[in-house]
Structure 1
Amino acid sequence: MSHPLLPSNQTPLEAALAHVMRPSVDPDVIKTLWDADRCPVRLLPWLAWAMAVDGWELAESEAVQRSLIKNSLAMHRKKGTPWAVRQIIRSLGFGEVVIVEGRLIRRRDGSTTRNGDYVHGAANAWAQYIVKLSRPVTKDQAEMLRSAIERYAPGRSELVALDYTEAALRHNGVARRDGQFTRGTVTK
């Protein structure tokens, strides 16, 4: 704004205050604040806060942050469903997942593989689930991912483990044995 919107009978004090308190934000920027694609990067955390975005601490890039903001409304609409759990993991850039729900073995006819995914005799196993990731995660990422998943999972359900044994670490010098990674499963 090049000139204040004060009337012609302004006092010198009003003119000085208008000059000192002039908005420092360009009006064109204000038009973009509610648009996840056009919002300035420095204001993205505020837009995420306004949209109640969960998992913001796991967003490692600007593209992931913008994706989380764009998906926020749909995520809140479908909170408490397996779709929401899968979507938060996808939005955070951890790829596709398999969710093993209802860990209680119901039949003993050989149709269930005893690989640790299912249990026998646990009364609450019907509400437990395992998330099988397609890429490895560090212990820190797993803790933050667990809290993001639990915000979108059904309230009656219990996340037992984040499993990435199918995407085991390769011995190629990228990951080191420094305690950041586990051998494929992060449990409580």
Structure 2
Amino acid sequence: MAQVSDDTLAKTSIDAATEFVQSFYTALQSGRSTIGSFYAPTPTISKILFNGNVVADGPSVQEIFTNQMPAAHYEVQSYDCQIINLNYPGPAAAAEAAGKPLTGMAAARNMSLLVTVSGSVRFGEEREPGDLSNRGFSETFVLVPSGETGLKGRGKKHWLIQSQNFRLVV
């Protein structure tokens, strides 16, 4: 891996977590048909858990949210991230092994991240202002680089979910 400063790594990981959290929870609320695209291909997924129940893969998560779950409103109250592996053995590492050394942001994006999120979720519609049907949740993700390059937006996801653990809390 090309030498990347600690500041660049920190900024890249924070930007990745922010972009991921904003887009993922928006999709859970209003873009459920896109949820499957947030997940790494099945062979690389280690576990997806929802309240202790194993879910097979990203398309299965999408099916649950599309066909079984009521409308939901997520309010993220906090999130944090930590770099797990600075040289993740993904698509960028394969390019580097093929003699195309990574530089700049490509090198900084060649990492895996642990992202923790907490907040509240309300399933169904709010009955009245101040409705107490909100439930707290805690969620942990392992994100890996997708290998996508190019401009932000335009449907490109730089980070994919490799592992996820969702838990409703008191």
Question: Fold conserved (TM > 0.5)?
Answer: no
> Hey, which of these two has a bigger chunk of strand by percent?
2
> Hey, which of these two has a bigger chunk of helix by percent?
1
- Per the normalisation by structure 2, the TM-score is 0.25
| Greater C-alpha Rg | 1
